[in-house]
Chains A and B, each alone.
Chain A
Amino acid sequence: MTQTAIAAEHLVKSYGSIKAVDGLSLNIRKGEVYSLLGPNGAGKTTTIEILEGLRRPDEGNVSILSMDPWKNAVELRRKVGVMPQGFNFIAKITPKEAIRHYCTLFGVPDNSKELLELVDLTDMARVSFEHLSGGQKQKLGLCLAMANSPEIIFLDEPTTGLDPQARRNMWDVIKRLKSEGKTLLLTTHYLEEAERLADRVGIVDHGRMLAEGTPDDIIGEHGNGLYLRISGTAELASRIRSATGLECSSKDGLVDIKIDANENIVNVLRVVESVHSKLSVLELKREGLEDVFVKMVGRMEGNE
């Protein structure tokens, strides 16, 4: 039986009239990497802060390692690491001093050297926090989240604002933490990142969970499957639609045709041939997580 690390039941949190989290539930296994995806203001940070015990939900239950993070905050601090969105620290303290301070507070041996090396921040070990670049500050945030070797690590937008090299470095650290058996909950706007790192993904908007599962599951369930993309005009699209009855859309000189079976492709090409249209593009495509995401979130916006 797999053990649950994080469980949240019907979380609700409002700020005045804004419902930041609206009946959201979550279940994350020990050792799992889970990614919350959602547009700005979707409620990711609010959700993660409730799970960290930094905010109290208006409604709903939370259990982190079978404890209530609001009531058992002190006990959980030792088992949970947090890298908050917009991590900040005391202006004139250096990364090395900050990590040492954390180690003393947690009562663990000074591991500043290893941690700084791990995130590639050794060069900046003795520079005041206020003089670090945005990405370097985030790296320190990650170090502090790992200082006490926690079982669960919350990372709120760990790679936002990082350069490509630093992002890859961050991915390596996350993969390493996963291989050490840590449970990770991360939020991101980058779908590629979620697909690459997460065992499971939750798509959130307006404080609600729109879809959840492995990236493949989500694409399978909410994606439109295969479509054929060819070059052509809107006129070609309407001819194909009337001739084959297939779902068809055109945009920017491209026509997308939804494909259910192989014979659809043959039929489409017949139409193309019959009107003597010249093909410069012919692609068979599968909708990715990004397409699903844009579609789902777009639909939510449309409902407003």
Chain B
Amino acid sequence: MKPSHILSDLVIYFKNFARSREGVFFTFIFPVILIAVFGSIFSHGTGGSVPLYVQNLNGTTGVTQEFLAGLNQTHLVKVHMIPADVNVQNYITRNSVTAALVIPSTFTDAVRANTTTTLPFYYNPTQSSSQFAAQAINLVVEHFNAQLSGTHSIISVSQNTNSVVATSYIDYLVPGLIGFTILTSPMFSTTYIVSSYKKEKIFRQFSLTPLTKSEWLFSRFTGSFIIALLSAGEMIATGVILFDARVILTPLVLPFILLGVVLFVSLGTIAGALAKTEEGASVIGNIITFPMMFLSGTFFPVSAMPSWLQGIAHLLPLYYIIDGLNSVMIYTNGAEAVLDIAVSATLALLFFVIALAVFSWKEE
């Protein structure tokens, strides 16, 4: 593998890219339009309500009804009930619940008697939606406390959730859309390039030179990585300037962008190489891309989706990239990010090896 070959190919690639208006539009302008549109619709609105599971051990009383109604009125959460006769911890595990609150049997009595009571709150700190839930609970609890006493807390929530910074929709949208550009730009451009170069016999032309397939792929990785970095910067700037998004700028985003690019350039190469025609390639590319585009946490946090969809999301490679980006950009949660890196790196390597195997410059 010769750096001079890769560099020369990269120069040709960027010249060709910069001279194509459609390419520049879809890579750099379209995602900004998306972030502007989604940001304006949802950043102040109700679109981000996440599920909060509540087990009411107290039965239906005026106080519990008022408390549950209060939760729903925050518009941050949508309350789902857990049956009173199940073990809440088992229920959480079985149903991948990210946030659950238990109303104890003594709740109504305690509120009426102005004695303190504690509501156990179970949450997964790495899941974005649990922060919404915590925020909603705090709002309602504070409201109750203020009404009941005004001097000391009657109701408290166990599990110290107060240290977690409340996040807003736009904060998720920035990593989500970075993931979106890591997916779409390399995937669509590689699928298109591979299928059209194959058809237009440009690969045949390459195969007559000392340029190798791996050099060419590395040039694609590098090119897409540079473009993805620029797009990510653009997403962050737009989110911060237009919508006041709070994201943490850390070099830890780099491995995710790099792995994402290798993963989707390889996947695009596979789609382009396996398809017989350019049209076929774009169909295959779309079939691979569209589910990931919407279900991996790009526009909405995965934890806000129904649990069966969450199951599907966990099968999508982009989920791990965006989950990791969320971990490092919103929560600074390194532990969770390590798992995401491991999964992404494994998938990237796997798809790269497959791409090298199925992608050929010659016809037999």
Contacts and interface: CB of A to CB of B under 8 A. Distances in A.
B8 A104 contact: yes
Interface string B190-213: 000000000011101101111110
B210 A105 contact: yes
B363 A128 contact: no
B5 interface: yes
A225 interface: no
Contacts of A106: 209-210
Interface string B329-364: 000000000000000000000000000000000111
Nearest to B206: A105
A93 B5 CA distance: 17
Given A84-B205, A87-B205, A78 B210 contact: yes
A84 B201 contact: yes
Given A93-B16, A97-B12, A105 B201 contact: no
A56 B20 contact: no
Contacts of A1: none
A101 B208 contact: no
Interface in A105-144: 105-107, 128, 144
A74 B15 CA distance: 27
B215 to A, nearest CB: 9
Given A54-B204, A55-B362, A89-B202, A97 B15 contact: yes
Contact of A54 (B15, B16, B202, B363): B363
Interface string A62-87: 00000000000110011010101011
Contacts, number: 63
A88 interface: yes
Contact of B12 (A73, A84, A88, A101): A101
Interface string B205-229: 1011111100000000000000000
A236 to B, nearest CB: 56
A77 B209 contact: yes
Interface residues of B, number: 24
B205 A92 contact: no
B61 interface: no
Given A52-B208, A77-B210, A106-B209, A88 B201 contact: yes
Contacts of A91: 16
Interface in B1-23: 4-5, 8-9, 11-12, 15-16, 19-20
A240 B363 CA distance: 58
Interface in A216-261: none
Contacts of B211: 105
B204 A105 contact: no
Nearest to B211: A105
A266 interface: no
Contacts of B207: 54, 73
Contact of A128 (B9, B19, B210): B19
A160 to B, nearest CB: 16
Give 3 closest A-B pairs by Cβ, nearest first.
A92-B19, A104-B8, A105-B209
20 contacts: A52-B208, A54-B204, A55-B363, A77-B208, A77-B209, A78-B210, A80-B208, A88-B200, A88-B202, A90-B12, A92-B15, A92-B16, A93-B12, A93-B15, A97-B12, A101-B9, A101-B11, A105-B8, A105-B209, A128-B19
